[in-house]
Amino acid sequence: MTTPTRPERDTSDAGLDAVVSERRQLMSLAYRLLGSVAEAEDAVQETYARWYAMTQRERDAVASPGAWLTTVAGRVCLDVLRSARARRERYVGEWIPEPVPGRADWIGGRPGPAASAAPGDPADRITLDESVGMAFLVVLESMTPAQRVALILHDVFGYPFAEIAEITGRTPAACRELASAARRRVRAAAPPASPADRQADLVREFKRAWEARDIGALLGLLDPAATFTADGGGLVVTTLRPIEGGDRIARYVLGLASRITPEVTLAESTVNGRPGLIVRRAGQVTGVYAFEVADGRITHIWAVRNPEKLRTWTDA
């Protein structure tokens, strides 16, 4: 009786493991560029589809599969960003980037291969932690697609402008200017992030004041010029325009508190790497609140209630 031989591992794609291992990096990049987990997943899937659409000879000729995948993912995201502007103009109410829970470890990403050699003042670089914060993602929405790609790839992932130029179709010098202009927007729009422990304290106090319906405590926590922005996507009832002013926000929040019943709970949670709150109704997450804190007070609250943006929170 002949003993069947054990099939050998297919080595036709020598870079298979390396290619598959890039998924976390690609998701991390695509999420920051697009502000949507669903769109990021689609972009990564399209990137892999293009890789496997090549012949084996073409894949073998790629010196660095990781760099190739990042370049293609950047181009795919750039195309999505260009088409997203028109779609978001038709969006019902305010559009807020999709929040992600702390368990989504892929948001941490990892610096690109040139991170350690990237020139320039380190103070100009944006850390991975900062780049996933809601305040930063919201600022990105005000940028052109090319500015966004240049800033994220260079300042967050450490890619040189020569490689970014291949993605954007511009010169390295033009990409350097794009990143510089984007960086100025970030500096002008948002104050330095407060320590996480201080933000956690303020969020905890806000939760208690909200549950107690204590308007005085809420006013003490909110900056007089604070802003509250909600995103329901036209699928749930919420304010369609930003609410400005601590007093108005406090009164609006008190109105929401009247809807808190035994089946509705508030809980502290990590939202995009920073302390935030989640609202559950009968165990189902129905709202995620992200906060911006400066000088010991809450300056901005982003409330995401669009159920299509809360799918990643189902098991959070």
Q: What is the pLDDT of residues 16-50, one digit of tens each?
A: 676 778 899 999 999 999 999 999 999 999 999 99
* Token code pair at residue 6: 């054990």
Looking at residues 226-250, what average pLDDT do you find? 96
Confidence at residue 110, expressed as pLDDT on a 0 to 100 scale? 60
Of 25-39, 77-91, 199-213, minimum mean pLDDT range: 77-91
Amino acid at 301: I
Which residues belong to CATH 3.10.450.50 in the chain?
196-313
Fold that domain 196-313 belongs to in CATH = Nuclear Transport Factor 2; Chain: A, (3.10.450)
Q: Which residue has the higher pLDDT, 11 or 44?
A: 44
Amino acid at 168: T
Long-range contacts of 162-165 (CB under 8 A, 24+ apart): 163/67, 163/71, 163/114, 164/74
261 pLDDT more than 90: no
- CB-CB contact of 114 with 35 (8 Å): no
Provide the strand spans (E) within the chain. 222-231, 243-244, 264-271, 274-281, 284-294, 297-304
- Residue 310's contacts (CB-CB under 8 Å, 6 or more residues apart) are 99, 285, 286, 287, 288, 304
- Residue 159's contacts (CB-CB under 8 Å, 6 or more residues apart) are 70, 112, 113, 114, 153
Phi first, then psi: give them for residue 101, nearest 5 degrees. Answer: -75, 165
Looking at residues 223-236, what average pLDDT do you find? 96
Looking at residues 227-250, what average pLDDT do you find? 96
Calculate the alpha carbon distances from 19 to 69, 77, 154, 285 in Å.
8, 19, 22, 35
